[in-house]
Amino acid sequence: MTAQAAAAGGAPDAEIPGGGAASITVEHLTMRFGGLIAIDDVSLQAATGRITAVIGPNGAGKTTVFNCLTGFYKPSVGRLILHHPRHDYLLERLEGYRTAQDAGVARTFQNIRLFPRMTVLENLIVAQHNKLMRASGYTVLGLFGFKGYRDAEAKAVELARYWLDRIHLTDKADWDAGNLPYGDQRRLEIARAMCTEPLLLCLDEPAAGLNPRESHELNSLLTYIRDQHKIGVLLIEHDMSVVMHISDHIIVLDYGRKISDGTPEQVRNDPAVIRAYLGDDEEGGGGPS
């Protein structure tokens, strides 16, 4: 019932299921492609220091939400507010790269998009590009090896090493990223996103194609990010073992509308969710036995 109420209301000031302060607030997001309505008046919030999962059947509009958040699409209606310590950013008004640079939103894709012909380490350092550009006086000073730049570079390498450790790729740091096994590439993508030092990390099906062991490793990486770095993690996932295990808060989309919003416990027992996933039942609302 509480889940239903939250879904219907979407009041921005309502407490977020799973707790925590809001990292992102999406208000009345609608996305139309010609006559097709991909997202229909969706409001949601994700909290810092929590993992928020967005689930739903195929074509529910999950990835479209991500594309709106990261500036690939301009929403037809709605506001996307990122709560930054400095001030709030309206993501729909930010130009491409500023979403990452200023607002601190990082994302990964369903299909892996590393820089395949750069080394693992370089993939992590290029993600710290803006810091380094400023430190190097836009490369001019860097070419002459000024101290400030070398320090910044050393720090960037340090951060990269830290994440390499976390994802167990330290000994493959000099490999071309494109030659890594699939599971390693997935984790490297997340590490690269983290190297931009984001406030909100959007992961689009990070567990897709992973075997159970890799998917377990992913779970511990994500909970590590949540607990140690205290940022908001927004997650699209089909793998329920991942979703139910690590999410603090679940949002369910179906046909572009939000049908449920609550803690994993609430969502699991929400009749609307069961209907969407298992089809309409004659008895209506009967939970799985």
Partner 1 sequence: MQNSFAYFVDQLINGLTLGSIYGLIAIGYTMVYGIIGMINFAHGEIFMIGSFVSIITFLILGMAGVTWVPLALLIVLIVAMLLTSIYGWTLERVAYRPLRGSPRLAALITAIGMSIFLQNYVQLLQGARNKPMQPVISGGVTVMQDQGYVVSLSYMQMIIIVVTVVLMAAFTLMITRTSLGRAQRACEQDRNMAALIGVNVDRTISLTFVVGAMLASVAGLMFLLYYGVIDFFIGFLAGIKAFTAAVLGGIGSLPGAMLGGLLIGLIEAFWSGYFTVEYKDVAAFSILVLVLVFRPSGLLGKPDIEKV
When the beta carbons of 182 and 240 are compared against partner 1, the nearer one is: 182
Q: Is 117 in the site for partner 1 (CB under 8 A)?
A: yes
Structure tokens belonging to residue 132:
């380094």
Judged by CB under 8 A, which of 27, 32, 41, 115 binds partner 1? Answer: 115
Q: Which residues in 47-76 contact partner 1 (CB under 8 A)? A: 70, 72
Q: Is 208 in the site for partner 1 (CB under 8 A)?
A: no
Q: How many angstroms separate the Cα of 98 from the Cα of each of 103, 144, 174?
A: 7, 29, 29
Contact segment (CB under 8 A) with partner 1 among 43-51, 109-117, 221-229, 257-265 equals 109-117
- Which amino acid appears at position 250 of this protein? I
Q: Is 164 in the site for partner 1 (CB under 8 A)?
A: no
When the beta carbons of 57 and 97 are compared against partner 1, the nearer one is: 97
When the beta carbons of 99 and 266 are compared against partner 1, the nearer one is: 99
| Chain-centre distance for alpha carbon 122 | 22
Smallest separation, CB 213 to partner 1 (Å): 25
- Which amino acid appears at position 52 of this protein? T
Structure tokens belonging to residue 39:
């997202």
Is the Cβ–Cβ distance between 55 and 62 less than 8 Å?
yes
User: What one-character-per-residue DSSP string does 96-149 give?
Assistant: TTHIIIII-EEE--SS----TTSBHHHHHHHTTHHHHHHHTTTTHHHHTT-HHH
Q: Is 33 in the site for partner 1 (CB under 8 A)?
A: no
Applying CB under 8 A, which residues contact partner 1?
70, 72, 96-97, 99-101, 106-107, 109, 113, 115-118, 122, 125-127, 129-130, 132-133, 136, 138-139, 142-143, 153, 192-193, 195-196
